Amino acid sequence: MNILKAIAASNLSFSYEGSGKYALKDVNMDIEEGDFVIIAGPSGCGKSTLIRAFNGLIPHFYRGKYEGDVIVDDHRLPNEEPHQLFRIVGTVFQEPENQLLTFSVERELAFPLENAGLARQDMKKIVDSTLKKFGLCELRYRSPNELSGGEQQKVAIAAALISNPKILLLDEPTSNLDPLSASALLDLLHHLNDEGMTIVLSEHRLSLAAPYSNKLAIMDKGRLIDYGNTIDVLNKYINQDLVEIPDIFLIANALKQAGYYEGEMPLLISQFLSGIRKKPRTGG
C-alpha cells in the first residue's frame, strides 16, 4: 500500500569530512510525485547539503559520515552513483559558474546528451528546441564564462532540464536574478510542475516563491524543524525571523488581529482582497 514517493529521506544524518558538526541531523522527509517543495531556513542551516543528498553528490562526491537512507524514485542513493540518476534528477546549483564547464552554450547543453549516448541528429534537435525555449539562441556560440550571472543561471537551468528529468532540484535559483526574471523562472517551474515534474528548491525570497509551492520545509542547524502545507507552516513562523515571511502574509496577519481580515491567510493579492473585512476609500 505504499504511495510512490519521489524522494524519501529517513533518519538522514551527514557530516562533511573534517568537520565535527552535523550538516544534516535526523532528517525524515517524504516528497511525493508532483510536489512543489520549498526548503527555507537561515544560511548554513543545511539546505544545500540536503539538495546534495537528494542527487547523490552526498555521499559519492562529498565525503563524510553518512547515516540513514535516501530513496529517489526507487533508487537507494547510498548504493547508486549520481550518473545513474541522469534521467531522474536534474540539479541547478547555487553558483552557476561552478556548474558550467564547456566553451560554448551549445556544448554546455549537448554535454549531458553526449554522455547519455544520444545520436547526433537527436542531440541537435533537443539542443535547438532548448535554446529556443530559454531564449538562448543569441548566446549559442558564446562561452558560458563570459555571460552575466543571470544568463549563466539560465544556461545552467536549461542544461539541468535537457534530459527531461522527473525531479528538478534547484539551490537558491533566484538569488542572482532580477525580480522579473525570477518570476519568469518560477512561472517556468510552475509549468513543469503542472506537467508532472517534481520541483524542490531552496529559497530565501519567499514572497516571490511561496505562492507556487504546495509544501514548505523549514530547516535550522541541520534539522528539518517543520514541513507541511505552505500556508500552515508560514503561519507558525510569522514573528520569528527564521525565514522571510511575505509582506502580504504579515499584512493580513496584522489586519486579522485588528479585526480587518477574515478567512484563510493569503499568498496572492486576489485571496487577500476577498479576506479584507472593510474596504478603505477607493482612489489614489
Q: Of residues 48, 104, 143, 271, which one binds another protein by CB under 8 A? A: 48
Q: Which stretch binds another protein (CB under 8 A): 53-61, 104-112, 224-232, 271-279?
A: 271-279
Does residue 116 interact with another protein by CB under 8 A? no
Query: Grid coordinates in use for 143?
Result: 562561452
Instruction: Please report whether residue 248 would count as binding another protein according to CB under 8 A.
Output: yes
Q: Which member of 151, 160, 197, 218 binds another protein (CB under 8 A)?
A: 151
239 binds another protein (CB under 8 A): no
> Closest distance between another protein and the C-beta of residue 17, in Å?
12
Note the helical H segments in the chain.
47-54, 57-60, 105-115, 120-133, 149-161, 179-194, 206-209, 230-236, 247-257, 269-275
Report which DSSP code applies to 139: G
CB of 109 closer than 8 Å to CB of 131: yes
Size of the site for another protein (CB under 8 A): 50
- Cα–Cα distance between 45 and 86 in angstroms, integer? 27
Helical segments of 134-259, H only: 149-161, 179-194, 206-209, 230-236, 247-257
Q: Is 200 exposed, middle or buried (0-12, 13-18, 19+ CB in 10 A)?
A: buried
20 binds another protein (CB under 8 A): no
Is there binding between residue 244 and another protein (CB under 8 A)?
yes
| Segment interacting with another protein, rule: CB under 8 A, options 52-60, 71-79, 192-200, 268-276 | 268-276
Segment 21-40, which members bind another protein (CB under 8 A)?
Answer: none
143 binds another protein (CB under 8 A): no
DSSP character string of 193-216:
HHTT-EEEEE-S-HHHHGGG-SEE
Cβ atoms of residues 12 and 28 within 8 Å: yes
Q: By C-alpha distance, which of 174, 171, 217, 209 is closest to 53?
A: 171
Report the b/e string of 214-252 with b at 16+ CB within 10 A: bbbbbbbebbbbbbeebbebbeebeeeebbbbbebbeeb
Asked if 148 interacts with another protein (CB under 8 A), we say: yes
Answer for which of 102, 104, 143, 207 binds another protein (CB under 8 A) is 207
Nearest-approach distance from CB 128 to another protein, in angstroms: 24
Q: Report the nearest approach of another protein to the CB of residue 192 (Å).
A: 21
**Which of 205, 214, 221, 275 contacts another protein by CB under 8 A?**
205
Is residue 118 at the binding interface for another protein, with CB under 8 A as the rule?
Answer: no
Q: Which is nearer to another protein, 54 or 237 (CB)?
A: 237
* Contact region with another protein (CB under 8 A), list: 50-58, 123-131, 171-179, 187-195: 171-179
The count of other CB atoms within 10 Å of the CB of residue 86 is: 14
Task: Output 116 or 273, the one with its CB closest to another protein.
Answer: 273
Phi-psi region of 242 (alpha: psi -120 to 50; beta: other; left: phi over 0): alpha
- Read off the amino acid at residue 149: G
Q: Which of 60, 107, 190, 204 binds another protein (CB under 8 A)?
A: 204
Residues that bind another protein (CB under 8 A): 41-44, 48, 94-95, 97, 148-151, 172, 175-183, 204-205, 207-208, 241-244, 246-248, 250-251, 254-255, 258, 260, 269, 272-273, 276, 278-284
